[in-house]
A and B are shown apart, each in its own frame.
Chain A
Amino acid sequence: MTSLLAVEGLSAGYGDTVILHGVDIEAERGELAVIIGPNGAGKSTLIKAIFGIVATHGGRVRFDGADITGAAPERLVAMGMAYVPQERNVFPTLTVAENLEMGAFSVRGRLAPLIEAQYALFPELGRRRRQLVGEMSGGQRQMVALARALMTKPKLLLLDEPTAGLSPKVMAEVFGHIQAINRTGIGVLMVEQNARLALEIADRGYVLAAGRNRFSGTGADLLGNRQMAEAFLGG
């Protein structure tokens, strides 16, 4: 059985600026994997390179058994990958229901059952289905962003700093939602600033620094690793 996602020796960057220098990561089916590291480590670039938004210079990305290195986002969505950007991840002048409908734009067939499934997972969105997303709070918008990405029934959800700019209370709620999504069997690969909280819920963690792998292991292993804790978790 191959991994759901396997990144091998991936190099990527913007134009002539190389940001990732041969990064390896893996995620199994249904796993919650977390990428942490200091600012500028290339965490977001890694996710964007996997999703085909940033050009890759070398290495390979395999998803669900197929080589997807450099594949376009539309193809990856059709294959079962979904991506939630850190910013601009909702349509603010559309209602909650319309955001979900747009999430499934490429899906053929009836959308109502899919939309109801998201409302079951996020009851608050069900109550606010006709509200404009631009009028909602940061945490609620993050829920919309997650639900929108789930509309294509992905096998793997890529999340770029889903708790950026949220208060600690809301942050915990969003982590709770991500765990709930993961419990339905959807694999999650998440970039996070809040390293300790993220590792606490992670099956697997990777620490990137300056575009290279520094540490990897289970979430608990990494939290217990003193060398790693001193360098990246503030002691």
Chain B
Amino acid sequence: MAKNNNLITVVKQLPTGGKATAIGSSVAAGLTRYVTFVRAARDVLAVNTAVGSKLYLCEALSNAKTSYSTPTLASALQKMVVVIPSAPTADKDFQSTPKIDTENPLFSIAESKFMTTLLVSDAGLSGAVNLFVQYYDQ
């Protein structure tokens, strides 16, 4: 795959469990979206952070939240799941790979589809998350 230098990055704040949102617009016709890096950090500064997070990164037909707003729906569309442990001692900063490699993407989103995310509302896994995604369309 030829290297694509037109990197796009998106930051999304997922403040509460149940938050579902699209990441970017739909993939243009004839193109594929290559996702190269995902970072999800628990958005908390307090000491007693005994709450984790679980979020789905999905390939959805539309950006209508009704298609990916529950864990059941989102898991059927999932391309990746991120779990941040609840233990206070756990590292709350998830990075998909220690090193970014734009020539070797993590996963792809097909043309006309949307990349979306859902933070679950399950007890202990619904802590606020700051999400960073890097991708390019080619």
Bound pair: A and B? Answer: no
B contact set with A: CB distance below 8 Å: none
